[in-house]
């Protein structure tokens, strides 16, 4: 009681068979005294007290339109396997003028930006395929501005083409079609466009609103046209980012480098990322040590729409996680701990649900068993659980150990009843186990241990179990008439008796 600060919500259960809401601690003590009982008080703190202070970090409210500056569009390449996504991404990476300036030692970091001759820039996520796209989406990250749907002109629309279209539509991301492999001998652009029309994609040439560019990723044909089309699309969409204030970004991928430690590639969505910034992503924390682009060049700062590989993570953040800058490492640890605790609480709740479901199930089984035991309790049964086999030694002590399985408890009862009336002084009979339902592995194991016979009454024996029984020479006998079962028992006993002299 000393710990109870707020008594307004104290709920005292069932004093004089009614519920009493006590509003004063004295009244509570008196009530307990009057009741003459020992009480367990379940104190429910007042509502406003129960709200733990929220120590999470959240993104800022959306920026004003006037704060937005044009930024490169972020593009994901999707399409059917072998239609040329990887080839296209490689070709685009090498087409960058910046890349050429630095001699082009490109490496895969998950995203790269290209600069066109015109100066326009486009950022590509270079983990092609929809697995990456859906991993991001699963975490609620809407990183992609435009999807490039690659369709091979010699193959046309295939299963994953359709899947990609569905995904882009669901995410409400505009699409641009790249009809690839126009250099291939069997290329048929018209047929491909018709196939696209059949799945609801109308390209501009046939009066639709989807831009389609005919390319060869392998021969680098019309790649400029493709990037220009992307820039045009981005302009139409008025894509913009706010480079001021705390950083917001999305994790594209993360990995551990043996020399550089934990790395993550992110794309900045808001703010300007710099060395020394403190970041949180899921439960991971970083103090930015170094920023690099996909050419391995060290960057001073990263603005919205650009990717960077970030060094300085204490744990690996998951792909798709939202990255938020916080003011200090102390605050970052607080956020991380808060999120860790929240996750733990969620896990516990899941566990609690699973446990209570299991308990309910156990309880049901237990009740059924109890009922059965009550009804059949008068039949002698060896105690359940592991025991030493009681197999009499020597041939002169005949015994028969039985395991009985029946379809319903009424039948089982009748069988046990019949068996209990059958005594043979010369042969010791023991019912090792009985139960309802098909013959199980456990029954066979029991029979094997106790050199027993399984009597299966109107129940199945799965072939796997039959095989197990055969391997262990465990006899399983099937019956559907009780007196036949009893006859068989007599016979089994007779077999065990020493021959009459």
Token readout for 212 is 């389609």
Q: How many CA atoms lie within 13 A of 393 on its CB side?
A: 0
For the chain, the distance separating the N- and C-terminal CA atoms, rounded to the nearest angstrom, is 85
Angstrom distance (rounded) from CA 80 to CA 159: 7
Nearer to ligand GDP, 121 or 181 (CB): 181
Tokens at 439, concatenated: 């013959």
Query: What is the closest distance, in whole angstroms, from the C-beta atom of residue 79 to ligand GDP in the complex?
Result: 6
- The order of strands in the sheet holding 146-152 is 111-115, 121-125, 74-79, 146-152, 175-180, 212-214
Least distance (Å) between residue 103 CB and ligand GDP: 24
We find the least distance from the C-beta atom of residue 76 to ligand GDP, in angstroms, to be: 13
Judged by CB under 6 A, the number of residues near ligand GDP is: 16
Q: Cα separation of 42 and 30, whole Å?
A: 17
Instruction: Identify which of residues 83 and 137 has a Cβ nearer to ligand GDP in the complex.
Output: 83
Cβ-proximal residues to 412 (8 Å cutoff; 6+ apart), any chain: 372, 376, 404, 406, 434, 435, 436, 457
Closer residue to ligand GDP in complex, CB, 92/217: 217
Choose which of 76, 87, 115, 222 interacts with ligand GDP (CB under 6 A): 87
Contacting range for ligand GDP; rule: CB under 6 A; set: 177-185, 226-234, 360-368, 491-499:
177-185
List CB contacts of 423: < 8 A, sequence separation 6 or more.
429
Cβ 99 to ligand GDP shortest distance, Å = 19
Closest distance to ligand GDP from the beta carbon of 287 (Å): 36
Classify 498 in phi/psi space as left (phi over 0), alpha (psi -120 to 50) or beta: beta
Identity of the residue, 147 or 400, whose beta carbon is nearer to ligand GDP in the bound complex: 147
Complex with ligand GDP: residue 87 or 144, whichever CB lies closer: 87
Whole-angstrom Cα distance, residue 335 to residue 57? Answer: 6
Say whether residue 188 binds ligand GDP (CB under 6 A): no
Contact 132, 145 (CB under 8 A): no
Q: Taking CB under 6 A as the rule, which mask of x and - marks residues 215-234 in contact with ligand GDP?
A: -xxx----------------
Stretch that binds ligand GDP, among 134-142, 180-188, 228-236, 327-335 (CB under 6 A): 180-188
Q: How far apart are CA 306 and CA 293, in angstroms?
A: 9
Rounded Cα distance between 380 and 182, Å, is: 84
Smallest distance, ligand GDP to C-beta of residue 292, A = 25
Return the SS3 of 412: helix
Pairing of strands 428-436, 212-214: unpaired
Select the span of 16-24, 74-82, 380-388, 474-482 touching ligand GDP (CB under 6 A): 74-82
481 is an interface residue for ligand GDP by CB under 6 A: no
272 binds ligand GDP, rule: CB under 6 A: no
Closer residue to ligand GDP, CB minimum distance, 137 or 214: 214
If one asks whether residue 292 binds ligand GDP (CB under 6 A), the answer comes out as no
Question: Is residue 121 a contact point for ligand GDP (CB under 6 A)?
Answer: no
Of the ranges 79-87, 194-202, 226-234, 449-457, which one interacts with ligand GDP (CB under 6 A)?
Answer: 79-87
Q: Is 262 in the site for ligand GDP (CB under 6 A)?
A: no
Taking CB under 6 A as the criterion, the residue among 123, 180, 222, 295 binding ligand GDP is: 180
How many Cβ atoms sit within 10 Å of the Cβ of residue 42?
9
Nearest-Å Rg of the Cα atoms of the chain is: 37
The DSSP element (H or E) to which 279 belongs, if any, is strand 278-281
Min dist CB 177 to ligand GDP, Å, is 14
The rounded distance, in Å, linking the Cα atoms of 65 and 46 is: 43
Contact region for ligand GDP (CB under 6 A) — 65-73, 75-83, 412-420, 431-439? 75-83
Among 83, 130, 137, 214, binds ligand GDP (CB under 6 A): 83
Q: Which of 20, 35, 86, 106 binds ligand GDP (CB under 6 A)?
A: 86
Q: How far is the CB of 184 from ligand GDP (least distance, A)?
A: 4
Binding ligand GDP by CB under 6 A: which of 14, 82, 327, 491?
Answer: 82
Q: How far is the CB of 329 from ligand GDP (least distance, A)?
A: 41
CA atoms within 13 A on the CB side of 150: 27
Nearest to 300 by CA among 329, 324, 326, 277: 277
Residue 156 touching ligand GDP (CB under 6 A): no
Q: Which is nearer to ligand GDP, 81 or 236 (CB)?
A: 81
Residues 6+ apart with CB under 8 A from 230: 73, 75, 122, 146, 148, 176
Site for ligand GDP, residues 123 to 152, rule: CB under 6 A:
128
Q: How far is it, in rounded angstroms, from Cα 167 to Cα 165? A: 5
Binding site for ligand GDP (CB under 6 A): 79, 81-87, 128, 180-181, 183-184, 216-218
């Amino acid at each position: 009681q000393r710990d109870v600060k707020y008594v307004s919500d104290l709920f005292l259960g069932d004093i004089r068979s009614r519920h009493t809401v006590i509003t004063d601690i004295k009244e509570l003590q008196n009530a307990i005294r009057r009741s003459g009982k020992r009480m367990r008080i379940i104190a429910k703190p007042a509502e406003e007290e129960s709200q733990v202070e929220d120590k999470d970090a959240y993104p800022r409210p959306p920026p004003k339109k006037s704060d937005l500056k044009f930024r490169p569009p972020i593009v994901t390449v999707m399409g059917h396997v072998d239609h040329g996504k990887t080839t296209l991404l490689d070709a685009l990476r090498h087409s960058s003028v910046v890349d050429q300036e630095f001699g082009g030692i490109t490496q895969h970091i998950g995203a790269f930006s290209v600069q066109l001759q015109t100066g326009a820039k486009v950022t590509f996520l270079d983990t092609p395929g929809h697995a990456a796209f859906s991993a991001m989406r699963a975490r609620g990250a809407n990183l992609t501005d435009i999807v490039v749907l690659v369709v091979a002109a010699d193959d046309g629309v295939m299963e994953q083409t359709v899947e990609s279209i569905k995904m882009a539509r669901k995410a409400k991301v505009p699409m641009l079609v790249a009809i690839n492999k126009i250099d291939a001998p069997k290329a048929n652009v018209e047929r491909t466009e018709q196939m696209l029309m059949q799945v609801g994609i109308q390209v501009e040439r046939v009066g639709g609103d989807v831009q389609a560019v005919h390319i060869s990723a392998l021969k680098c044909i019309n790649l400029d046209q493709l990037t220009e089309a992307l820039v045009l699309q981005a302009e139409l969409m008025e894509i913009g980012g706010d480079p001021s204030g705390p950083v917001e970004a999305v994790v594209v991928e993360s990995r551990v480098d043996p020399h550089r430690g934990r790395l993550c590639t992110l794309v900045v969505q808001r703010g300007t990322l710099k060395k020394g910034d403190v970041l949180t992503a899921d439960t991971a924390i970083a103090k930015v040590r170094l920023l690099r682009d996909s050419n391995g060049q060290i960057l001073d700062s990263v603005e919205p729409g650009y990717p960077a590989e970030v060094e300085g993570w204490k744990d690996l953040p998951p792909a798709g996680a939202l990255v938020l800058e916080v003011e200090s490492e102390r605050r970052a640890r607080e956020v991380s701990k808060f999120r860790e605790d929240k996750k733990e609480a969620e896990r516990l709740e899941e566990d609690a649900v699973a446990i209570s479901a299991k308990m309910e199930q156990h309880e049901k089984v237990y009740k059924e068993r109890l009922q059965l035991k009550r009804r059949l309790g008068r039949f002698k049964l060896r105690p359940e659980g592991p025991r030493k086999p009681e197999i009499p030694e020597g041939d002169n002590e005949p015994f028969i150990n039985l395991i009985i399985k029946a379809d319903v408890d009424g039948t089982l009862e009748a069988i046990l009843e019949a068996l209990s009336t059958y005594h043979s002084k010369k042969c010791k009979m023991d019912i090792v186990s009985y139960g309802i339902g098909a013959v199980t592995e456990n029954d066979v194991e029991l029979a094997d241990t106790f050199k027993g016979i399984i009597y299966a009454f109107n129940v199945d024996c799965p072939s796997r179990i039959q095989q197990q029984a055969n391997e262990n020479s465990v006899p399983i006998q099937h019956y559907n008439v009780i007196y036949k079962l009893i006859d068989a028992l007599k016979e089994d006993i007779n077999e065990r008796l020493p021959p009459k002299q």
